[in-house]
Amino acid sequence: MKATYRVLLSLVLLSGIMAPLSYAGAKYGQPISKRTVTAITDILTNPKAYDGKLVTIEGIIATESPTGYWFIAKDKKSNAPIYVDIATSGFVIPQHAGRTVLVEGTVVVKGSALMIQGRGVEVE
């Protein structure tokens, strides 16, 4: 009986350690086809030049919705933030705050609001 509890406890502890690692290399939505990365700061500096264009950005997930429908990606060098909406593409992601993310999507400018409608996400 004690051996069974030890095995179960070991499995529970191991799953708690391995769970965060299981998302490494995770891919959501459509495969990313455009591997050339556009700097977030370039988009923020000249949003009209990118409006309606498909881009790929790389950053760190700084903030994310509890439901996984959107997140804020920050540029690794400048810390510049950009809002990424993935709900419009019909998928969500689990919590990945602090992880590096690659996002392919369309830049959308509406008045002073700027965002990327993500269609594919890869988490490192």
Per-residue confidence (pLDDT) for residue 93, from 0 to 100: 93
Reduced to 3 states (helix: H, G, I; strand: E, B; else coil), residue 121 is: strand
What pLDDT does 34 receive? Answer: 86
Domain ranges within the chain, ordered by starting residue = 26-123
- What angle is formed at CA 33 by the lines to CA 27 and CA 37, rounded to 5 degrees? 90
Q: Residue with structure tokens 């510049």?
A: 80
Residue 7's pLDDT is what? 43
Q: Is the entire prediction scored with pTM above 0.85?
A: no
Give the whole-angstrom CA distance, residue 97 versus residue 94.
Answer: 9
What pLDDT does 21 receive? 46
Amino acid at 110: K
Write a three-state SS string for 41-92. Answer: HHHHHCHHHHCCCEEEEEEEEEEECCCCCEEEEECCCCCCEEEEECHHHCCC
The CATH architecture assigned to 26-123 reads Beta Barrel (2.40)
Taking the chain (124 residues) in runs of 10, the rounded mean pLDDT of each run is 49 43 77 94 96 97 95 94 96 94 97 95 94
Taking only the tens place, the pLDDT of each residue in 85-109 is 999 999 999 999 999 999 999 999 9
Q: Residue 73: its pLDDT value, please? A: 97
Sequence-separated (6 or more) residues with CB below 8 Å from residue 23: 94, 96, 99, 123
